[in-house]
Amino acid sequence: MSIITAKNIHRRFGEGNLITHVLKGIDITVEKGEFLAIMGKSGAGKSTLMYQLSVLDEPSEGEVIIDGTDVVQLTERERTEFRLRTLGYVFQNYALVPDLSAEENVMIPLLMKDYNWQTAKQIAHAAIDGVGLAGKYKNLPAELSGGEQQRVSIARAIAGKPKILFADEPTANLDTVSGTQVIDLITKVNKEDNQTVVMVTHEREYAMGCDRIIHMKDGLVVDIEQLTTFGRGEH
Amino acid sequence: MKALRIGFLLGFRQIQRANFWTTTLIIFVMMLTFLNLIAVSGILVGLIEGSERALQKKSLGDIVLTELADEDYILETTSIVKVLETFPEITNYSVRFKGSAQLEANYQERRDLSGERDIVTSSITGIDPIQEDNLSALSETLIEGEYLDPNEEGHILLGAYFIDRYADGFGDVFEALEDVYPGDSVRMTQNGITKEFIVKGIVSSKVDEINLNSFIPEREFRRLFGRFDRNADQIVLRLDENISPEEMKQLLIEANLDDYAKIQTFQESLPKFLIDIKNTFSLLGTMIGSIGLVVASITIFIIIFINAISRRQQIGILKGIGIDRHVIQIAYVLQAAFYALAGSALGALITYGFLVGYFDRNPIDFPFSDGILVAEPLGTLYRFIILFIITLFAGFIPAWIIVKQNTLNSILGRK
């Protein structure tokens, strides 16, 4: 059962003679519970594709259906609400609010989702414990290493139990050990919680735990690599 | 409510984690703005208020009794004084007789009888020197010579503006006598009656009423002006601190004194032009203070704008993870509100804890008034509300500009 269906996605930037055609008609489906990696060289359009799928950007053409909702038709405010309720994000640069402690960073989206303070705090603690940072609830991002910040970022992304977790090069700023820990964590979330994950990476070793890898080049999908039997009824 | 709560958390944490010195500097700027708003108009109004206070202290007292509209003098003055003496709330009073007369100086030295005489027309006030001094401390205004002795006759105190060396600074505004010093003789002529007085002293005050008056003992005044019924032109009362002029006025009315004299509190007796000037200065002060308000709003705008633009990516990420833009705007507006509140609170503390008292004890020496700082709590509250609202807008607008930018562009740092 597909949770994301994207049809004929085009993304152009600029105007007139200066138009850059970054995505040139991409069709893609992501199955519920699937761990999908998008790979490609710089400029291939992998991040741009993820932004279209994750409702952070609007395609110039085409449609994106997520969990039955045509997200292209949503207003800005509805898109924000949709992202809050349905999607989780792990960004390349951790993207934590520097003034908030680890627990507060995780709590903010939960509070937006109408959880009361106490419940949000309990969920945040459980999520932080889950990424191996028990006891660091009160630490500010600046008091955590890059790997730890990214794990808090993962805790924030999954605490609200999103339907899809998007990770945009989550290991790009990390050393190998921390990068591996982060990938292991995302893989664990996918395998144990049946969390749908879409991850952009340009490091093949980090994509090896995925179910499927989409290879992109010049704004087109040039290859799809199936790594597991997911989606073939054997997962 | 949810947006407010989360916005409050974000804003509070931003303030909490902000650089201490930067926060201190911003609050300091806001405090100066508040002081500017209060002090500029406060001192301008204080100029007039100081003038009013001096007028109250040196001339009009707390309550003034004058003649009724269709009478020439206060009726039954002697009886009224007796009634007044029964009120313990009245600490001092002065009965004044008023008229005008010609004063001539240097007549003894004048050789050329066809030449111009050294004459001025002066208001003459007949006073009981002791009563008057107790009420208005007239003796403290002496700049030359001595105060009137109640046991002496034939002495006069001249207002400084009738003496050329004090009036010269005003050009030809005032007629003045030349080279008159204490001990010199002047000749007073009124209605064909002439009497010679020895100048006992020269009085000068920031209250022009004194500078433009000459004072003689009331006994001589009544003789010279033919006021044998003892009915006065003005009775001025000084009250105990425990009673307000309004309450005292009511007591006097209950004693039926209003049948014989017009009773006014000091405020009621003020000339309308003085009240108009006061209101004009207040308006002027507010207008000048408004420049400070504009500066403060621009300062807050810049601070919040820089703050928001330096956190543009973070704002984008917050929007990206589903935080409503209003939450983010509230966070920045809250910061602006904090700066305004903290600055105003400090400003109010300095104003009421120090400045008002200081200027009361050490008035600013303006040429025509001892200026004080007037900061009416209600006026201060209004100004604070204006400052607060403008600051909120100044905080909201930059936050709104940054927050409305494309989410992805903000996240990626694209223009």
Angle between helical axes of B312-320 and B377-403 (0-180°, round to 10): 70
Same domain assignment for residues B40 and B73: no
Q: Which of B2, B14, B407 sits opposite A56 (nearest CB)?
A: B407
Residues B85 and B230 in one domain: yes
Position B201 in a domain: yes
* Confidence band of B173 (pLDDT split at 50, 70, 90): low
Interface pTM, i.e. ipTM: 0.84
Q: Is residue A184 part of a domain?
A: yes
Q: What's the number of domains chain B is made of?
A: 2
Residues B208 and B295 in one domain: no
Query: pLDDT tens digits, residue range A71-118?
Result: 999 998 899 999 999 999 888 877 888 889 999 999 999 999 889 999
What single letter denotes the amino acid at residue A166? Answer: F
Lowest mean pLDDT among A145-149, B34-38, B87-91, B222-226: B34-38
Q: Which of A85, A95, A112 sits opposite B317 (nearest CB)?
A: A95
Q: What is the CA radius of gyration of chain B?
A: 32
In a domain, A234, yes or no: no
Domain boundary at B213, B235, B260, which? B260
- Burial pattern B91-119, b for ≥16 Cβ within 10 A else e, equals ebbbbbbbbebbbbbbeeeeeeeeeeebb
In a domain, B278, yes or no: yes
Confirm whether A151 is domain-assigned.
yes
Based on the fold, state whether residues B150 and B206 are members of the same structural domain.
yes
| Pairing mode of beta strands B142-145, B213-217 | unpaired
- The tens digit of pLDDT for each residue in B337-393 reads 998 899 999 999 998 999 889 988 988 887 777 888 888 888 888 888 888 888 888
pLDDT band (50, 70, 90) for residue B141: very high
Same domain, B221 and B311: no
Residue where a domain terminates, one of B233, B260, B287: B260
Residues B292 and B331 in one domain: yes
- CA B320 to chain A, closest CA, distance in angstroms equals 7
Measure in Å the smallest separation between the Cα of A69 and chain B Cα atoms. 17
User: What is the chain A residue with the closest CA to B4?
Assistant: A112
Q: Band of the pLDDT at A154, cuts 50, 70, 90?
A: confident
Contact A49, A38 (CB under 8 A): yes
What is the distance in angstroms between the CA of the first residue and the CA of the last residue of chain B? 33
Taking a C-beta distance cutoff of 8 angstroms, is the pair A59, A70 a contact? no
Please state the domain count of chain A.
Answer: 1
Radius of gyration of chain A (CA): 18
pLDDT of B218 > 70? The answer is yes
Which alpha helices (H) appear in B56-86, and where do they start and end?
Answer: 77-84
Q: Is residue A233 part of a domain?
A: no
Q: Of B260, B293, B316, which closes a domain? A: B260
Distance CA B152, CA B146 (A): 12
Structure tokens at B4: 């407010």
B61 within domain boundaries: no
- Domain span at residue A121 reads 34-47+75-226
Quick check: is A87 in a domain?
Answer: yes
Q: Name residues whose C-beta falls within 8 Å of residue B95's C-beta, 6 or more positions apart in sequence.
A: B77, B81, B127, B128, B131, B218, B232, B234, B235
pLDDT tens digit sequence for B251-295: 999 999 999 999 999 988 887 877 788 788 878 877 777 787 787
In a domain, B265, yes or no: no
- Give pTM, 2 decimals: 0.72
Host domain of residue B14? 2-56+274-412
Do B244 and B290 have their domain in common?
no
Closest partner residue to A57 among B318, B321, B408, by Cβ?
A: B408
Tell me, yes or no, whether A112 lies in a domain.
yes
A56 lies in some domain: no
Q: What is the CATH number of the domain that holds A193?
A: 3.40.50.300
In terms of domains, do B110 and B171 share one? yes
Interface-testing mutation among B321, B325, B332, with chain A (most A C-beta atoms within 10 A): B321
Specify if B210 maps to a domain: yes
DSSP state of A55: T
Same domain flag for B285 and B360? yes
pLDDT, tens digit, for every residue of B66-96?
Answer: 999 889 999 999 999 999 999 999 999 999 9
CB B2 within 8 A of CB B329: no
B95 contacts B78 by C-beta, under 8 angstroms: no
CA triple A15-A19-A24, angle to 5 deg: 130
CA distance B227 to B97: 9
Q: In terms of domains, do B383 and B357 share one?
A: yes
Specify if B269 maps to a domain.
Answer: no
pLDDT attached to residue A235:
42
Q: Decide if A140 is inside a domain.
A: yes
Would B216 be classed as within a structural domain?
Answer: yes
